[in-house]
Structure 1
């Protein structure tokens, strides 16, 4: 009798697409189904998704992955779920219908509400590890309750449920039986106390969010219910859940204090494992839950950049100067090294270490000789410069590293990886499996399903594929740093002017 082959399926629900990936018993990806869906921009600074687009792409890709397993006699041991973080939905507990479109993590509509709470920021930071910024879920929830007719009364009556994308999908995947989240996603709401690992009544009062809306918080490898057989035909357990950046930390094998990764997806997120106690930054970085297993929590320090790969999409879809994302490498190589064009891609504000939600994108240094290639290269460079800002902040907090593990769609561009190594002046490592967010969720599901005994058992499963060593011209590097810092300063001055106009 032939051996039964086991696998796990990861649902990877991202900002621009949904994927379902089958990982075999040694956690190699063997099948991927992917479907893109649109973002909506109803007003400047607003970013929304249609929740039904998210749901339909999840159902479609998951069914394709399940069909692959059936056709190849593969037993599905469990399902992992990884999601874009902070994106906020509120839905009717009876019908499962959402009251309003999903307000995306990039959305800036609550900037002025956050500004009014700035006097509470240090108190907030010590409880949540976060900043008072529209990025996080709390002010998004409040906005929905205050702007959708009768929403607040219905919430107070216990008729509504809040969730980040993981909670929304778990609810739907289980046929409305489970209202759950995990600690990593809970830690991104500004409502969760990362010291005692519970929803915090004082935070709920600050943001005026009823406790009845909130999901139950579980470990990352845990029982999150089973697929609804009416929709999917099989009762498969959902047993691994994490926010995308924490999942990438897990997928990169960063299980020891001081180990770090940076993901270059829609945004850019650098996380370093800070151990079993939360470490609070003095440089405007975030403290977040890295993962919780068997009731024990590991923390991370994080730097968040809102726009990375999204800027490449902007060049392709909005400006039309980039035929496809893969062409960015070829165009970047056409431009001279000291070209003087600087892009600040602050389309949805500036994240760490600046935290200025009113900042907007800008291009500096244009001349009559500037071409599309100059703008493309400067946009790629801007992601490296923003990463350098994060690394400098971490160093000021006493965290130094001589290597950086990278992943995400942008690191397929070898020119970008080399420029990153040059800018940071450290070794950049690119792993064999670059989609580490999905891999991290697969590890969590596999752990709960018994395919491995300990999280450390996964450390060797995703070796490095390429290494980029810095090739530094110190004079040119200093010029680039000076131009970038000047461009950011000018962008912040414009944001301050915009704030003053709003107050007039």
Structure 2
């Protein structure tokens, strides 16, 4: 009897990926479809919703074509992950998008924040998150206030709003379903931990009509079937990209911090229960159903890959991301970079902070300082996580920027903690496959690369100077 295959679908900011895994966690086929992203100004970051639907369909067709009709018939289950705070509005009659996809990076609703300020403690208490224009509810409110097609659909009674994952499910599965999972629902600021459903009081705060939202379901759920390779594959997992990446090596460990470094850097520490005081971090739903409920203490760095993109333009250095390792070994004296690209995330939470260099240097030295600043911001969050949850034994790093050996070694040196990089670069996809396979106990972690901490006094001295300068950036 032929082994089953598991289809992992990862829709991200730059591309949509489809990967087929066998029961050993080995990728047997891959497809990638590039997608566009528009940033018309400093606040707006959006994508074309119809393009994302098409990219998902194309990626599925390509990956199933790779394994042929017989391979396609072996696909036992599928999982879908999306960027958690990306939000869209659509018509429930036709499925047509009525708004662009407002990316997780989008901050067009920033002007609305003062109106909700008095409710910030309630929002944190119910959701574990902080009031921010990056999350879904302010974006939905902005769409209701500013987009005529959204207003008209609401008046006519056929408006749906919610996370991107819900929209892609609505457009992809048979029979059609209007549903959302906990990891994506939580990023709206409308889903309460205790209720595990939409919270009436929070809906009232943002004036979001309950009837426009998807129904809440567990992470593991019969969401419907996706056409793939001439067959219909059960979609059994819907979650966020970071929540899926947590499972890249199998069941997450509570003594480990999982760091996914892409456009942003997201740090997750699995905990048994919600901490009495989560400090200036986030408490997030990672999974519900399928035999386990799991939550994480989470830190967020907005300026990771986004900072490299910013630096490529600001420094006229188009190959900055590709040249990470070479730049980090450059001997030129480095300035310090106070990195607030995309706004300062945890533990500072200053969306209006502005980036700047302290000191001068060559273009290459400034580029190296920018890369270094990503590590420094990650370290701020590592220390905050350990202060609440206790010392950690290892850091597991995944994502595009984790492919830089120099960055991984620098992170080990500055943290003093062993850094482990899994062999499979598609961490979100592999985590999805693990979940879709039903949490197999014998799921192998896979051989990767380990970076042991090394003494680096100049690095620690630069970080101390960088940290001393951050209060001035935070205070404006």
In which range does the TM-score fall when normalised by the shorter chain? over 0.9
Q: How does 1:314-325 map to 2 (within 5 A)?
A: 314-316=310-312, 319-323=315-319, 325=321
For 1:281 and 1:399, the matched residues in 2 are separated by 13
Which residue is equivalent to 2:420?
A: 429
Q: Is the 8 A contact 2:414 2:460 kept in 1?
A: no
Per-residue CA deviations over 1:43-79 (Å, capped at 9, x if unaligned) read: 2221111112212211111110111222563511111
Per-residue CA deviations over 1:317-355 (Å, capped at 9, x if unaligned) read: 66541426332211221234xx34122332221111111
Seen in structure 2, the aligned counterparts of structure 1 residues 305 and 115 have a Cα distance that, compared at 3 Å, is farther
For 2:314 and 2:36, the matched residues in 1 are separated by 13
Seen in structure 2, the aligned counterparts of structure 1 residues 66 and 456 have a Cα distance that, compared at 3 Å, is closer
For 1:421 and 1:98, the matched residues in 2 are separated by 44
Q: How does 1:115-134 map to 2 (within 5 A)?
A: 115-134=114-133
Number of aligned positions between the proteins:
475
- Higher mean alpha-carbon deviation, 218-227 vs 138-147, is at 218-227
Which residue is equivalent to 1:466?
A: 449
* Offset at residue 463 of structure 1 (A): 3.1
For 2:230 and 2:70, the matched residues in 1 are separated by 17
Which residue is equivalent to 1:359?
A: 353
Query: Is residue 2:384 matched to residue 1:410?
Result: no
Q: How does 1:173-252 map to 2 (within 5 A)?
A: 173-174=172-173, 177-228=176-227, 233-252=230-249
Q: Is the 8 A contact 1:131 1:286 kept in 2?
A: yes
Query: Is residue 2:257 matched to residue 1:266?
Result: no
**Corresponding residue to 2:4 among 3, 6, 9:** 6
- Local SS of the residue matching 2:370: helix
Seen in structure 2, the aligned counterparts of structure 1 residues 21 and 54 have a Cα distance that, compared at 3 Å, is same
Query: Is residue 2:324 matched to residue 1:328?
Result: yes
TM-score (norm 2): 0.94
Which residue is equivalent to 1:499?
A: none
For 1:444 and 1:419, the matched residues in 2 are separated by 32
Per-residue CA deviations over 1:287-344 (Å, capped at 9, x if unaligned) read: 01121124752211100111212222334466541426332211221234xx341223
Gapped runs of 5+ residues in structure 1? 448-454, 495-504
- Higher mean alpha-carbon deviation, 124-133 vs 101-110, is at 101-110
Which residue is equivalent to 1:284?
A: 280
TM-score (norm 1): 0.89
Per-residue CA deviations over 1:217-269 (Å, capped at 9, x if unaligned) read: 2222221101258xx74221111122111111112335343432111111101
For 2:174 and 2:258, the matched residues in 1 are separated by 36
Per-residue CA deviations over 1:428-478 (Å, capped at 9, x if unaligned) read: 11112132111111112121xxxxxxx2615x512341111111234x344
Per-residue CA deviations over 1:127-157 (Å, capped at 9, x if unaligned) read: 0000001121110110001001263463265
For 2:129 and 2:247, the matched residues in 1 are separated by 21
Query: Is residue 2:455 matched to residue 1:480?
Result: no
- Local SS of the residue matching 1:56: helix
* Offset at residue 375 of structure 1 (A): 2.1
